[in-house]
Amino acid sequence: MGAMAAAGSLANATEYTLTSADALIFGDTEVITAFGEDTLPDLARRYSLGYEEIQRANPGVDLWLPGEGRPIVIPGQRLLPPGPREGIVVNLPEHRLYYYPKVRKGETPYVITYPVSIGKMDWSTPLGKTKVIGKQKNPTWTPPDSVRKEHEERGDPLPPVVKAGPDNPLGAYAMRLDIHPGAYLIHGTNNPIAVGMAITHGCIRMYPEDIEALFPLVPVGTPVWLVNEPVKVARIDGKVWLEVHPPIDEEGQQAAVDIEQFYALANTALGETPAAIHWDFVMSELKDASGMPQTVGIEVDPADLPPQPADPALPADAVPVAPETATPDAPAAAATSTSEAAPAPALAPH
């Protein structure tokens, strides 16, 4: 199912060529070695990752002093989010922006992707389709009254207008979205260490070098989809892949993963094709929400499936599972019954 190849080395890789129109996965996960004064935020920026993204890939690693010679996971492999492959798509739980430039007929399509910050609790980024209605270099910032009040209460008052320059939270470039009321922007930042977190007042914040690269590529009128897809499932070359990010609710807070969402997405991805699903892997990834694609199952030949009664306690459209413990690369004999599926406990992703 057409994978994608990175243009250039992994470090600072942001552009990936789609080898087919239906490519679903791209990039590679690598392990590097930390040196000297490397911090996880330093490495995140160097490898086009966000703050939380690199933390989740390296649980237990000290944020500010990983240590000389410490192996660091660089999660560069991703499933493309569902939906249109046109313009800009921002997947909020993923804290990541995807840009699909227009290409001429016969040219190879590609995607450009960057980590972003999104709205924090009580300042959530809205969902839905919008578009870019304006672009500005060296923007000034007129903070709304609510934001000035918040800063005033914590002893950090803001002027009515913040001029362009190093103290401007919008950075050097801003693109206005057609969302009302309010002023929602895709913009740079003077606080790059926080890219990849839910920390903004609803805007989408990027590393200074990323917005500088994206700004000239995006014409006014470009469609923008703001989506909430914490769970991504894909069927690729006979295998079932799962990628999970911490879900967010309507207030921008992290929420529990819904096992029913996995059932629905898996059935959509598989269609009529039965598959053996490794439920230990599924449940572990739904709990951990590492953000890294994992193989959790494999397609099976319907002729190899013995008839078994359905379990009325589980959804009628639940995907087939393997009745025994199996690894994704060597699954046990598959069964159509869902009776061996693990129960769906309440999960709280970190």
Catalytic residue list: 187, 203
* Contact predicate 214/99, CB 8 Å: yes
Maximal C-alpha separation, the chain: 71
Q: Angle, to 10 degrees, between the axis of helix 279-288 and the axis of helix 259-270?
A: 120
Measure the CA–CA gap between 263 and 254, rounded to whole angstroms: 21
Residue from 217, 146, 140 nearest 185 by CA: 140
Phi, psi of 53 (to 5 degrees): -60, -45
**Which residue bears the tokens 């057609």?**
178
Half-sphere exposure of 320 (CA within 13 A, CB side): 25
Q: Which of 206, 58, 17 is nearest to 118 (CA)?
A: 206
Q: Which among 132, 131, 90 is positioned nearest to 248, based on CA atoms?
A: 90
The C-alpha atoms of residue 89 and residue 322 are separated, in whole angstroms, by: 35
User: With the CA atoms of 18, 116, 219 and 87 taken in that order, what torsion angle do they form, in degrees rounded to the nearest 10?
Assistant: 40
